Chain A
């Protein structure tokens, strides 16, 4: 492999450049043109006026967590602890309880996510075997004025949830839709 040498042309120090004033005027014309261009129409300004105008987040943007619903509105989560185990920030706190329905076995009695600790990595979503936790709410984490408000409990997480189109497993197909 041969070495290629590229010779770059340095700007020459001609009288025009060294006289300084013509170059200053040239520079001024550039800035003035840009200023006037933006003053009348703002063609080059790409700023999005955030609270009034919102940018659409990409489809796979990881926003606030939400817990998905079963067809009858119950929480899909079966308290398997996969998400809280996978969580590198230890921000998911689940207390499991026994479900009356033998087909479901377990459900989370409490499901709390500390959004201040969450690093928004999405590992919990990856770990979940039954499409119960998702981060596709499209809502970014808001600033909290009080630490207590950063703990999102099951109700709050469910309020953003919807029914999932994925079918959930279990041997007792019919009984998984029963009410309690």
Chain B
């Protein structure tokens, strides 16, 4: 059943999605998004000094970012005297691994149909062929549960990184990070419970498939149409999970140096930093999948665009449809990544007690109310 070719495809998918998409985009956005975009917002130029063969590209400043990455590789890996050597060594990996593993269930495109595709009730039906899973690493039926599980595990990286260095700043950062993640985990789960009720599945690809429907023949049935409140709750909770501003008290540059990774340098620092940015992109991908139709392009189905109720209006070959969907998914993901960056450079950060207040006293009641109302409506119709 599991042939060598399948295994090769699996390895290729893992390689392309993690090493080819998540990590490079993460690395690029780390530097480009945070340093260059913030510079533009604040009327600065940003880093632009690195030259390659005497050529200086001031617009994109890509050589600078490559130079920063190389520099990080060759920096001294300093470890405090009384650090717990083993956990200090392991913690950055514990932070980075969950961030990468999360990508296993994200569908970059629909199951590939080897036969002919027919469109029935806004759904692609594969006739006379197999459905091959080419665009996600694993087509898990428990996809969303997997996301919850792995994203909860990622707190170990931060907590252990904070504890193992024997630094007070890092310990406070680790504790704050733990408290924050546990608080917002609740809201995150409850806000998505409503979407689970509506879609009736935990499989992320099936969720995306269902979002191809049209409400009243014109409005794409994206998750945000059904669950607008859940979208806001989930987006806020996920931003808190990734520890980005305005929820950046675990790092709190103005109070506790760099929080839980104060005592990390060189590639260990790079790994922790990268894990946060990969997490940011994952939030973008997950929000796009659950609330914004995933790989769906509005009105586009397996054989082309359907604007009215009858037949194909603009025929598109199946390969073209697949390519368009891939582009659509990546564009949606990057849009939400950009939104997070813009929010970071727009909003002032919360005080620690304000974060706890927001999490437990505002977001949690709203998410429970949202769940109850959704459940009643789903039961009634």
Contact = CB atoms under 8 A, between A and B. Distances in A.
Interface centre among B41, B45, B48, B342 (most CB of A within 10 A): B41
Contacts of B369: none
A24 interface: yes
A28 B44 contact: no
B44 A24 contact: no
A38 B346 contact: no
B43 A35 contact: no
A49 to B, nearest CB: 8
Interface residues of A, number: 17
Contacts of A47: 44-45
Contacts of B55: none
Nearest to A21: B232
A13 to B, nearest CB: 15
A31 interface: yes
B286 interface: no
Contact of B41 (A31, A42, A49): A31
Given A21-B232, A45-B45, A47-B45, A35 B40 contact: yes
A39 B346 contact: no
B1 interface: no
B343 interface: yes
Interface in B328-364: 339, 342-343, 345-347
Interface string A14-56: 0000000100100110111011001100101111010000000
B40 A34 contact: yes
B240 interface: no
Given A34-B41, A45-B45, A27 B346 contact: yes
Contacts of B347: 24, 27
A24 B40 CA distance: 19
Interface in B164-223: none
Contacts of B232: 21
Contacts of A45: 43-45
A35 B37 contact: yes
A44 B343 contact: no
A24 B343 contact: yes
Interface centre among B45, B232, B343 (most CB of A within 10 A): B45
Contacts of A38: 40-41, 43
A34 B342 contact: no
A30 B45 contact: no
A144 B41 CA distance: 36
A44 B43 contact: yes
Contact of B342 (A28, A39, A49): A28
B44 A31 contact: no
A87 B318 CA distance: 83
A32 B37 CA distance: 10
Interface string B35-59: 0010011011100100000000010
A21 B347 CA distance: 11
Please name the 6 residue pairs, one residue from A and one from B, whose CB atoms are nearest each other, closest first. Answer: A38-B40, A27-B346, A44-B43, A47-B45, A31-B346, A35-B40
20 contacts: A21-B232, A24-B347, A27-B346, A28-B339, A28-B342, A28-B343, A28-B346, A31-B41, A31-B342, A32-B342, A34-B40, A38-B40, A38-B41, A38-B43, A39-B40, A45-B43, A47-B44, A47-B45, A49-B48, A49-B58
